[in-house]
C-alpha cells in the first residue's frame, strides 16, 4: 500500500487522498481582460512531465486540508509533501529529505 505523508497528519494510506492537479498555477488577476485562447490554455493545458511533478492533494478522508506534493511520475513515489503557500522545494532538497534517503 502506498503511504502519503500528509504535512498535517503524518503518513496515511493513499485511499484517503485525492489529487487536485498541477500545483502552483496562478489564476490571471483580471480574467475578463484575458484573450479566449489564453483563458482556454489556463483552464485546460497543464504540463505532463516525466519525472518530478508538483501537484495539489486533498486529504479528503482525514484532516480535509489541501497540501502540495512533489511526485515522481515514473515511479509514482512521493518525494516531498509541503503545506499550501510554502515554496516548492528544489530537486536536491526534496531528494535529500525523501523518506527513502533518510
Could you state, in order of their start, the residue ranges of all structural domains in the chain?
3-97
What integer pLDDT is reported at residue 47 of this predicted model?
87
101, pLDDT greater than 50: no
Distance, in Å, from the CA atom of 64 to the CA atom of 48, rounded to the nearest integer, reads 26
Write the CA distances from 16 to 3, 10, 11, 60, 87, integer angstroms.
Answer: 10, 12, 11, 6, 24
CATH architecture of 3-97: 2-Layer Sandwich (3.30)
102, pLDDT greater than 60: no
The answer to whether the CB of 72 falls within 8 A of the CB of 51 is: yes
Amino acid at each position: 500500500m502506498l503511504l502519503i505523508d500528509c504535512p498535517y497528519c503524518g503518513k496515511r494510506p493513499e485511499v484517503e487522498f485525492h489529487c487536485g492537479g498541477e500545483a502552483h498555477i496562478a489564476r490571471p488577476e483580471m480574467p475578463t481582460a484575458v484573450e479566449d485562447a489564453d483563458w482556454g490554455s489556463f483552464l485546460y493545458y497543464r504540463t505532463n512531465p516525466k519525472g518530478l511533478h508538483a501537484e495539489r492533494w486533498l486529504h479528503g478522508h482525514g484532516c480535509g486540508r489541501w497540501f502540495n506534493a512533489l511526485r515522481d511520475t515514473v515511479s509514482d513515489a512521493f518525494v516531498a509533501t509541503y503545506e499550501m503557500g510554502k515554496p516548492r522545494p528544489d530537486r536536491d532538497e526534496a531528494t535529500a529529505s525523501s523518506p527513502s534517503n533518510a
